Chain A
Amino acid sequence: MTPSQRRWIFLVAGAGLAAFYLWGLSGLPGFGNYPGPYGPAILRIAVAQTNATGVVSAINFDYRGFDTVGEEFILFVAATGVAIVLRMLRGERERSAVDEAADRNVPPTSSAVRMVALLFTGPVVLAGWWLASHAQTDPSGGFQGGVMLATAFVLIYLSGEFLVFKRFSPADITDAVEAVGAGGYAAIGVSAVAMGLAYLKDFLPLGQVPGAVSSSGTIALISFFVGIEVAAAFILIVAELLEQTLLIRQGG
């Protein structure tokens, strides 16, 4: 198929898509007039039921907790998939990260980049940890916090070398942390079943003050496990992609 043919097919299909979109739009209540019923119903009961002031977290880790197990395992499987797709193939060997082209002059990492990356590493860890542990309070949660924690390790990579990054995040430990994160979430659900409750039903004390760190029972705990799972998954994905720079094909 030539590019121009493809463009014509796209234009025809796009016109059809636009017609469907306009048709669907005509049935919407209009921007700013969301009619419910699910949102208002949950907003009415969420704080009283879960003692979490972050209603989105209450939905993610309690009302829709079962969906979020699946969501977490999507990320788990994706990290596994990246590791499998980027496994060392036949005829590939690892070498140190020197440039193949001898005539290309690659400048070393500038001191400014190293300095900024080092300065940011500590605060980023702190902010990531804060996000992962405040899902029940405000717009934070395990997913956001986990990604930030992984960013700290990428900053370590920026400030040093890939090998330093590997030393700070050894694959065995990262794998184990990811498994604990993914398994911990599922285990919380099973613990509820063992107590005769529904899967992922909140079985911990809800605390006194709504939105306090100690409030909302399993929401905070699940967010913690999601946080370390997401952090480990992203570190693994980044490490796999970076490792590709160390591979060459023999004779190719």
Chain B
Amino acid sequence: MQVFPFVVVAWILGVGLYGVVTSRHLVHQIICLIVVQSSTYVLLLGVGYVTGAVAPYYFDVPNHTPAVDPVVQACALTDVVVEAAVTALLLSFAIQAYKRFGTLDPQELAELKG
């Protein structure tokens, strides 16, 4: 069984989570969260992959050519849009946190809140 794509998923997820946990800057932490979410794209596309198949577009290949699963690709698109929305909101929270507390260090922010 070819497992390399799923190892890549675990690696991206792992480094992203490690970054979120150890981050000392909110913007860096948000970017780490994006990395975490990127692992789900690889996972979705990896699950739907079919060896030797074409992309699910019949513009320049004959109809009914074996293609990879289009459903997971549609899910990946949804995933990207949600990520963009989440990132925009988190960045605006980071701006307001900096205005309110004068720091972007999650550790210091936790201490300030008590």
Using a CB-CB cutoff of 8 Å, which residues 25-45 of chain A contact chain B? 25, 28, 30-34, 36, 38-40, 42-44
Asked whether A74 lies within 8 Å of B3 as measured between CB atoms, the reply is no
Size of the chain A interface, CB-CB below 8 angstroms: 61
B56 contacts which of A14, A21, A55 (Cβ < 8 Å)? A55
Question: Cβ of A74 and Cβ of B81 under 8 Å apart?
Answer: yes
Of B48, B59, B88, which one neighbours A78 at CB under 8 angstroms? B88
Contact, CB under 8 Å: A39 / B59: no
Q: How big is the B interface, by class?
A: 35 or more
Complex Cα–Cα for A72 and B86 (A): 13
Interface of B is mostly: helix
Majority-rule SS of A interface residues: helix
Q: How far is the CB of B92 from chain A (nearest CB, A)?
A: 4
Mask: chain A, 44-69; 1 = CB below 8 Å from B; 0 = not: 10110000011110111000100110
- Once the chains are docked, how many angstroms separate the CA of A170 from the CA of B86? 24
Contact present for B21 and A7 (CB under 8 Å):
yes
Q: Is A3 on the interface with B (CB-CB < 8 A)?
A: yes
B59 and A211: CB pair below 8 A? yes
A30 contact from B2, B10, B52, B95, Cβ within 8 A:
B2
On whether the beta carbons of B95 and A241 are closer than 8 Å, the reply is yes
Residue of B nearest to A144 (CB): B77
- B21 in contact with A31 (CB, 8 Å): no
Does any Cβ of A come within 8 Å of B101's Cβ? no
Partner of A42, one of B6, B59, B71, B95: B71
- Picked from A34, A54, A58, the residue with its CB within 8 Å of the CB of B48 is A34
Contact A60 B68 (CB under 8 A): no
Of chain B, the residue at the smallest CB distance from A226 is B81
A54 contacts B71, C-beta separation under 8 Å: no
A75 CA to B81 CA, complexed, in Å: 7
Contact status A56-B56, CB under 8 Å:
yes
In-complex Cβ contact of B69 among A39, A46, A71, A138 (8 A): A39
Can you list 22 contacts pairing A with B, beta carbon distance less than 8 Å? A7-B21, A31-B2, A31-B4, A32-B2, A32-B50, A32-B51, A34-B69, A39-B68, A39-B70, A54-B56, A54-B57, A54-B59, A56-B56, A56-B73, A59-B74, A64-B74, A74-B81, A86-B92, A139-B57, A143-B81, A211-B58, A234-B84
18 further A-B contacts with Cβ under 8 Å, apart from A34-B68, A44-B64, A78-B89, are: A6-B22, A14-B17, A30-B2, A31-B6, A36-B69, A38-B69, A39-B72, A43-B67, A46-B70, A55-B56, A56-B73, A60-B77, A74-B85, A75-B84, A89-B99, A139-B57, A210-B63, A234-B84
